[in-house]
Structure 1
Amino acid sequence: MKVEVGTIVNTHGIKGEVKVKSNSDFTETRFQPGEVLTIEHQGKNIELTIASYRVHKGFHMLKFEGINNINDIEHLKNEVLLQEREHEEIELAEHEYYYSDIIGCTVFDEEDAPIGRVIEIFETGANDVWVVKGDKEYLIPYIADVVKSVDVEGRKIVITPMEGLLD
């Protein structure tokens, strides 16, 4: 099973490097040189092997093997990068989840009232923040004081909102 790991948002320079917005967790592992990413483009699967990886101004900068010119990659701007889900080096600890397991889950408060669905996750350094879309967008910090339970199979998350979190 393949999961989304990012989107090519732009090219960088003229030698085929691209800026990627991550949609994933474990980017240090997923974007290592030698890793293979797939793009579904115009009905075809294009496999790209990462030649180099660095972080620059909040973006993940990737260069792929065999692509040495902006003209070879520019047509793939805005394409989604996919990777095989089962990644042997990634062992999840207790209370760790793949982003793809959390995105799409419905978030409820402790009275079982639905708040919305997780549509995006971003890292802050201290902890992840889940963007939950309901009647409006809420930013839910993934911390033990707030997130009480995660049921990946049932696609359900229960939180105890901190004061002001849902205002």
Structure 2
Amino acid sequence: MTNWYKVGKIVNTHGIRGEVRVISSTDFAEERYAPGVGLLIRQTADEQGTPVVVKHHRRHKNFDLLQFEGYDSINDVEAFKGSTLFVSEEQLDELDEHEYYYHEIIGCTVVTEEGETLGNVKEIFETGANDVWVVQRAGGGKDILLPYIEDVVKEIDVEEKQITVRLLEGLVDED
């Protein structure tokens, strides 16, 4: 069975020629949306999905605009609004050392250098300077926002799904 990984969300149509407006959740938009690349569109996580092939890709403002082969009208893509785009595991490239795919980080347990379990990474936000990892606390409470910087993230073990961090002052609210 093929694993599929989220690369974006279709938020709207664009124009009348079948383009869709995508908010990307990938750092590799040029590769993921290159003409000829196969993607899967799903409305819900448990559905089979609709396989599509990218016909055209361009950037417009903060969006990626995509057109799929065989979908040449706004009427053809209207149903895709609100759907999620996925790429197959086979299309993922090897990353350099200290580079990770979001799916490798999300779900990891975050522990301090002292061995205290903080919680699990549930989401990643891209900011201008660095990514921010949202950690859902193990015992409940307010989420922790960890910047992905060298001073904070000390070790990542994707095999063991564990991340070791050094908490800088002010990163965690003591509720």
Where does structure 1 lack aligned partners over 5 or more consecutive residues? none
Matches of 1:129 and 1:41, distance apart in 2: 27
Residue 159 of structure 1: how far off its partner (Å): 0.8
SS at match of 1:66: coil
TM-score, normalised to structure 1's length? 0.87
Residue 35 of structure 1: how far off its partner (Å): 1.0
> 1:55–1:137: structure 2 CA closer, same or farther, 3 Å change rule?
farther
Q: Give the equivalent residue in structure 1 for 2:145.
A: 139
Q: Give the equivalent residue in structure 2 for 1:18.
A: 20
Q: Which runs of 4+ in 1 moved over 3 A?
A: 40-45
> Does the aligned pair in 1 maintain the 2:43–2:82 contact within 8 Å?
no
The reply on whether 1:61 has 2:65 as its aligned counterpart is: yes
TM-score, normalised to structure 2's length? 0.83
Residue 123 of structure 1: how far off its partner (Å): 2.4
Residue 44 of structure 1: how far off its partner (Å): 4.1
Residue 111 of structure 1: how far off its partner (Å): 2.0
> 1:105–1:12: structure 2 CA closer, same or farther, 3 Å change rule?
same
> Does the aligned pair in 2 maintain the 1:25–1:99 contact within 8 Å?
no
Q: Of 52, 55, 63, which aligns to 1:51?
A: 55
Residue 41 of structure 1: how far off its partner (Å): 5.5
Structure 1 window deviating more from structure 2 (28-37 vs 48-57): it is 48-57
Q: How does 1:21-100 map to 2 (within 5 A)?
A: 21-40=23-42, 43-87=47-91, 90-100=93-103
> Identity of aligned pairs, percent?
51
Where does structure 2 lack aligned partners over 5 or more consecutive residues? none
Matches of 1:166 and 1:127, distance apart in 2: 18
Matches of 1:110 and 1:92, distance apart in 2: 26
The reply on whether 1:161 has 2:161 as its aligned counterpart is: no
> Does the aligned pair in 1 maintain the 2:13–2:74 contact within 8 Å?
yes
Report the aligned-residue RMSD: 2.0
Q: Partner letter of residue 86 of structure 2? A: L
- For residues 85-107 of structure 1, the C-alpha deviation after alignment (integer angstroms, 9 at most, x for no partner) is 2336x331111111111111121
